[in-house]
Amino acid sequence: MTKLSIRRANARALFSSLALALSLSSCVFAVNARPKEVEGDKPAAGVAAADASAKPAASSATEAAARAKARKAEKKAHELELARMELESEELDQQHSLAEAQRKLDEAHKSLSEAQLSLEHFKTRTLPRELAEATLSLDRAQQRRDEAELELREMEATYAKDQFAKDTKELVLSRHRKQLDFANRDMELARQRFDDERNVTLPKTQREHEKKLRDAEDGVRDAEVGLRRANAKAEMSLRRLRFKLKELEQPEEEEAAKKGGA
């Protein structure tokens, strides 16, 4: 072997050694560059897998929160609509109640006015007229009785002076005595009717009119109380429903602020 061959062989061996050394250095560098695993930590592939699974979970939670928020908003809208309908219905009911209470009060005032007029008319017209008619009947009966008695006395005096037949005398005097008896009985009945009218019938009628007047006054007072009660009930009920509606109409931020302040 020549010196040239030996040199070439040495050069190739040296080149091979350098290549092997570079290859080993690259492997060592690659090994040192890889991040070291810490006890309790996941490998890089496990971390990537966890991140990949966490993304669907976070998306599912967001969707659930969105659905819950939508349900809450739908529920509030439903409650708000019901509150408005309830308020409208209550307003109509209270308007009807107030109108009914006012109608009863108007009728009570009308009944009171009629009772007052009726009592006044009875005192000023009916009572004097009934007493006057009863008095007139009694006076007429008294007059008829007096006339009958006078005629009887005259006939007795006439027949006492003249000498008429006994039968004629008794017939005439009997007729006049009977007329006087009828007149006395009629006068007694007229006096009883007068006493009844003055002491029983007319006072009773007056008491009935006065009772109607008191009942009408009580009716007015009851109707006034009913109207005031209806007004108070309507005011209380409508205020409560209006406040409920106002609370439902408030935005979520204001409600949260109120709750936070509380």
pLDDT digits (tens, 9 = 90+) for 191-209: 999 999 999 999 999 999 9
The helix/strand/coil state of 39 is coil
pLDDT band per the 50, 70, 90 thresholds, residue 124: very high
Domain boundaries, the chain: 80-249
Average pLDDT of the segment spanning 139-154 = 89
Q: List, for residues 233-258, the tens digit of each pLDDT value.
A: 999 999 999 998 999 888 765 555 55
Where does residue 244 rank: exposed (0-12), middle (13-18), buried (19+ CB within 10 A)?
middle
Residue 19 pLDDT grade (very low, low, confident, very high; cuts 50, 70, 90) = low
pLDDT, residue 9, reads: 58
101 token code pair: 């209470």
Span of 17-26, 57-66, 221-230 with lowest mean pLDDT: 17-26
**Measured CA angle at 48 (ends 46, 50), to 5 deg:** 70
The three-state secondary structure class of 12 is: helix
% residues pLDDT > 70 (the chain): 71
Residue 110 and residue 112: Cα distance in Å, rounded?
A: 5
Residue 70: its pLDDT value, please?
A: 86
Give the 3-state secondary structure of residue 164: coil
Which range in 98-107, 139-148, 160-169 is most confidently predicted, on average pLDDT?
98-107
Structure tokens at 62: 């967001």
Long-range (24+ apart) CB contacts under 8 A made by 227-236 are 227/98, 227/101, 227/102, 227/104, 227/105, 229/101, 230/94, 230/97, 230/98, 230/100, 230/101, 231/98, 231/101, 233/94, 233/97, 234/94, 234/97, 234/98
Report the distance separating Cα 52 and Cα 44, nearest Å: 12
Lowest mean pLDDT among 24-33, 172-181, 203-212: 24-33
Percent of the chain with pLDDT over 90: 39
Q: Does residue 109 contact residue 220 with C-beta atoms inside 8 Å?
A: yes
Contacts of 80 (CB under 8 A, 6+ apart): 245, 248, 249
Other CB atoms within 10 A of residue 112 CB: 21
